[in-house]
Chains A and B, each alone.
Chain A
Amino acid sequence: MSEPVFEARRVSKFFPGVKALQEVSIRLAAGSIHALLGENGAGKSTLIKIITGVYRPDEGELLLDGRPIALGSPREAMAAGIGVVHQERNLIPRFSVGENIMLEHLATQLLRPIDYASVNAAATKWLDVLGLHLDPALPVSRLSVAKMQMVEIAKALSLRSRVLLLDEPTASLTPHETETLFGLLQKLRHDGVSIIFVSHKLEEVQEICDQVTVLRDGRNACDSRSMAGLGRQNIVQLMIGRSEQIPDWAARHTASSAAMAIELKGVATPFGHSNIDLAVRRGEIVGLYGLVGSGRTELAKSIMGLVPPTAGTLSVDGRPVAIRDVAEALHTHRIGYVSEDRKGEGLILIHSVLDNAGITLWRRLARRAGLLFDSAVRRDAEPFLRKLEVRTPSLSQLVGNLSGGNQQKISVAKWLAAGVRVLIVDEPSVGIDIKTKAYLHELLRELAEGGTAILLITSDMPEMITLADRIVIMNDYRIVGELDNSRDYVPMSEGIMNLIHAIADAPAAEAAQ
């Protein structure tokens, strides 16, 4: 292996009561894409923060071109040539593409007038390096998430970054955009840039990375080894210390005679859905699969009454109903929705565990004159928190202080406590580790066994195939097909992708004729 560009040698980081990292090493070679993997809590984000100068290591050293360096701040890391593209967008929304890319250079001379023509020319140079044909005068708020990300990469390159760290870059990209990004990363690798690729999606890691470092419990499970010869199962084994449990569940026989819990016929919404037919029987798990931006979350929100449908009928338990708001969905029809955006929509982070889990109960438990007692909420909510094994020092702990997995359990628990008969679950395992995920899957399955109708929205194909009885495929705000789940991964995933791409390619085929 050639001389590494950047190296972290046996670095450790301690927080009060926690050893976040212990003697972790990573070596980054020029012209390579290096995967950094690990479950939540394995120390990945601590290592990222050390590499990008947010934290200083308590032990060990960082070397750039073989010479020890100290990174006192993110700015110093950037100056040393370590560029980062974070999950949250780090652009100024109302500024133009060009000004965002060149902001660094502008900020050095506060009183020298800006010549926008030369700013745009300089920015175009970096956009060209990436093969991006973007008007540098366009405000970034007009761009798609994928384009914004590319602008961030251009910005990092303009600072002559030799190490580029991408933190979950594909989390909000469509497969097509992901392909474009990967093409770009391969080009950068060819140009000698050293890329760190952090992702939960092992398929992507296998597709694009040539080196891998896996962390487990704050230590190296492997250190900068080649991807060659590593299969998916090997990687999972490294991450969790055992092989991935593919649940060998018996195919469930949801009697097709079971009563319809919820049924949509010819539904259209203000979001742009048209002619949606969808039905979930009691005790059935129906998967709703589609690409990001295909309109799944929007459909869920429409069912919940947040933005009521404009046409078609929605029946609950066989009776046509009109759901005008979420309170009606919950209290009258007993439909619950576990949001994909746990922190933004699912929980109130600065409130306690009990307040979060009990929020759906308040209206039911309120006594005369609206009086509400914690004891009543506790009585009804606590069994579900216990059942889900939420780990918290007490029910008065603030939810924001708990781990992602525990937060997710609480956002599910609050709907269970409300006793819903239809549960819409949107991307339930985003940001939770493999163990918690497996546990959550068992839980959803148990719920279905108990008669709850579940509509599962997920972009995680293995999760979909593990859980769903039937898979309905949505593309561009329409239902494009439905498959019975055979739980056989390869043919199922191919079938689903074929349905999506048959539609996506149709306009192109028409144009060709």
Chain B
Amino acid sequence: MTAGLRSYLETDWFGPLAITALAVAVIGGLNPSFLSPFNIQVLLLAIAVNTLIALSQMIIIAVGQMNLAVGAIGGLAAVCFAGLMQVWGLPPVAAAVAALAIGLAAGILNGIFIAVTEISAFVITLASLSVYKGINLGITRAQPFYGVADSVKAFGNTTVFGPVPWLMVPTLVVVGLIWYLLNRLPLGRSILAVGGNSHAAELSGISVSSTLITAHAISGLLAALAGVVLVARLQIGQPTIGDDWLILSFAAPVIGGAVLSGGHVSTSATVLGVAIVAIITQALVLFRIDPFFVQVVLGGLILWAVGVNRWREVRLRQGPRRALR
């Protein structure tokens, strides 16, 4: 194996990219309608929303924790967005800003509880999941809000050019910002440092508690944005928005090579992870396979990705010793 190819194999994005390309080629070959502009648009719509969900979880994985409340925060923000437009007649932009603020606050609350009590994020976000979901149901009485403004509906269902939907715009901006944050800004490096070795990070002058709160704040904000964007796409404020986000939110970062104990994530590979999940889901629909089977496939994908990560980790550890001998 040449050194060049080996260095590609060691990146996080190469494997997912190869699989994406392979999946597109195989499925497109078997069923040409997979590559029709309409189908590509549907695919991109799913990727636009799911990328936000995945990044919301990825930032918490980076800091070495997990956020079970991603879906509950997104759902709460979604119904608030639709509800503020329907009930109070707020203009869409004001309603969106308010919904994002609610998501941000929910994330900050999670972060503060975790940082102050030092109880595991699993327990705190399990509890807050229930709280946020309860507030959601209290507001909506489990009924959808239908009063979504026409401009919002248009934003969710028109394209910029070709098959590229407008919804891709906020997602692309967010992907760029998150990549910049985690690779170039000390704030993002602090998040990864705390995830990699929180004791060492603290001794290097990084405030662990404020870093945790920041990570949860970003997570809450992204979950809320996903909720708002999903309202635009569905044209309705469903109280069930967010209920099925959890598995996907972990699947994409893990397929993208994220280390669940923290300290290592890849933004680009996570986006590719989202794409793989979307393509496979879409393929199951195209081939008229029972949609309930999607869950099984998603579970299988996670196991496979964890297995690949494990294999790479073992090889990484053995690398230096082999080199010395």
Stretch in A141-149, A230-238, A275-283, A491-499 with 4+ CB within 8 Å of B: A141-149
A-contact bits for B280-308, CB 8 A (1 contact / 0 none): 00000000000000000000000000000
Interface residues in B18-66 (C-beta closer than 8 Å to A)? none
- Given A92-B201, A107-B205, A476-B325, the answer on whether A114 and B184 have CB atoms closer than 8 Å is yes
The answer to whether B205 touches A92 (Cβ under 8 A) is: no
Stretch in A60-68, A98-106, A125-133, A348-356 with 4+ CB within 8 Å of B: A98-106
B-contact bits for A78-122, CB 8 A (1 contact / 0 none): 100000000001111111000100011011111111100000000
The answer to whether A99 touches B185 (Cβ under 8 A) is: no
Q: Which of B184, B199, B319, B321 contacts A113 (CB 8 A)?
A: B184
- For residue A242, CB closer than 8 A to chain B, the reply is no
- Given A91-B200, A93-B263, the answer on whether A110 and B187 have CB atoms closer than 8 Å is yes
The answer to whether A92 touches B197 (Cβ under 8 A) is: yes
Complex formed: what's the CA distance from A104 to B316 in Å? Answer: 27
- Return chain B residues, CB-CB under 8 Å to A93: 196-197, 263
Complex formed: what's the CA distance from A113 to B185 in Å? Answer: 5
Size of chain B's interface in residues, with CB distance under 8 A?
27
Q: Which of A110, A293, A477 contacts B190 (CB 8 A)?
A: A110
The answer to whether B193 touches A95 (Cβ under 8 A) is: yes
Complex formed: what's the CA distance from A110 to B205 in Å? Answer: 11
The answer to whether A94 touches B185 (Cβ under 8 A) is: no
- Return chain A residues, CB-CB under 8 Å to B185: 110-114
- For residue B206, CB closer than 8 A to chain A, the reply is yes
The answer to whether B264 touches A104 (Cβ under 8 A) is: no
The answer to whether B203 touches A78 (Cβ under 8 A) is: yes
The answer to whether B263 touches A107 (Cβ under 8 A) is: no
- Return chain B residues, CB-CB under 8 Å to A110: 185-187, 190
The answer to whether A107 touches B203 (Cβ under 8 A) is: no
The answer to whether A111 touches B196 (Cβ under 8 A) is: no
- Given A94-B263, A114-B184, A272-B325, the answer on whether A108 and B205 have CB atoms closer than 8 Å is yes
The answer to whether B199 touches A107 (Cβ under 8 A) is: no
- For residue B87, CB closer than 8 A to chain A, the reply is no
Across the two chains, which residue of chain B brings its CB closest to A78?
B203
- For residue B117, CB closer than 8 A to chain A, the reply is no
| Nearest-Cβ distance from residue B261 to partner chain A, whole angstroms | 10
- Return chain B residues, CB-CB under 8 Å to A272: 325
- For residue A431, CB closer than 8 A to chain B, the reply is no
Q: Which of B187, B190, B203, B325 contacts A90 (CB 8 A)?
A: B203
- For residue B7, CB closer than 8 A to chain A, the reply is no
- For residue B192, CB closer than 8 A to chain A, the reply is yes
- For residue B324, CB closer than 8 A to chain A, the reply is yes
| Nearest-Cβ distance from residue A478 to partner chain B, whole angstroms | 11
The answer to whether B200 touches A142 (Cβ under 8 A) is: no
- Return chain B residues, CB-CB under 8 Å to A74: 203
Complex formed: what's the CA distance from A341 to B29 in Å? Answer: 55
Complex formed: what's the CA distance from A103 to B205 in Å? Answer: 8
- For residue A75, CB closer than 8 A to chain B, the reply is yes
The answer to whether A94 touches B320 (Cβ under 8 A) is: no
Interface residues in B172-219 (C-beta closer than 8 Å to A)? 180, 184-187, 189-190, 192-193, 196-197, 199-201, 203-206
Main secondary structure of the interface of B (DSSP, over half): helix
Complex formed: what's the CA distance from A142 to B324 in Å? Answer: 12
Complex formed: what's the CA distance from A108 to B185 in Å? Answer: 11
Complex formed: what's the CA distance from A144 to B323 in Å? Answer: 11
| Nearest-Cβ distance from residue B217 to partner chain A, whole angstroms | 13
| Nearest-Cβ distance from residue A256 to partner chain B, whole angstroms | 35
Q: Which of B196, B201, B203 contacts A94 (CB 8 A)?
A: B196
- Return chain B residues, CB-CB under 8 Å to A141: 316
- Return chain A residues, CB-CB under 8 Å to B201: 92, 103
Across the two chains, which residue of chain B brings its CB closest to A109?
B186
- Return chain A residues, CB-CB under 8 Å to B259: 94
- Return chain A residues, CB-CB under 8 Å to B193: 92, 95, 103
- Given A91-B200, A92-B200, the answer on whether A107 and B320 have CB atoms closer than 8 Å is no
Across the two chains, which residue of chain B brings its CB closest to A101?
B204
- Given A113-B184, A114-B184, A144-B320, the answer on whether A107 and B197 have CB atoms closer than 8 Å is no
Complex formed: what's the CA distance from A437 to B319 in Å? Answer: 36
Complex formed: what's the CA distance from A142 to B322 in Å? Answer: 12
- Return chain B residues, CB-CB under 8 Å to A91: 197, 200
Across the two chains, which residue of chain A brings its CB closest to B199?
A90
Q: Which of B186, B199, B320 contacts A142 (CB 8 A)?
A: B320
Complex formed: what's the CA distance from A114 to B190 in Å? Answer: 12
B-contact bits for A158-174, CB 8 A (1 contact / 0 none): 00000000000000000
The answer to whether A111 touches B186 (Cβ under 8 A) is: yes
- Return chain A residues, CB-CB under 8 Å to B199: 90
Complex formed: what's the CA distance from A25 to B270 in Å? Answer: 56
24 A–B contacts, CB within 8 A, in A order: A90-B199, A90-B203, A91-B197, A92-B201, A93-B196, A93-B197, A94-B196, A94-B263, A99-B189, A103-B189, A103-B201, A104-B204, A107-B186, A107-B204, A108-B205, A109-B186, A110-B187, A110-B190, A111-B186, A112-B185, A114-B186, A142-B320, A144-B320, A476-B325
Which 6 pairs, one residue from A and one from B, show the smallest C-beta to C-beta distance? A90-B200, A92-B196, A103-B204, A110-B187, A107-B205, A106-B186
| A-B contacts besides A75-B205, A103-B206, 16 pairs, CB < 8 Å | A78-B203, A90-B203, A92-B192, A92-B196, A95-B193, A103-B201, A107-B204, A107-B206, A109-B186, A110-B186, A110-B187, A111-B187, A112-B185, A113-B180, A141-B316, A143-B320
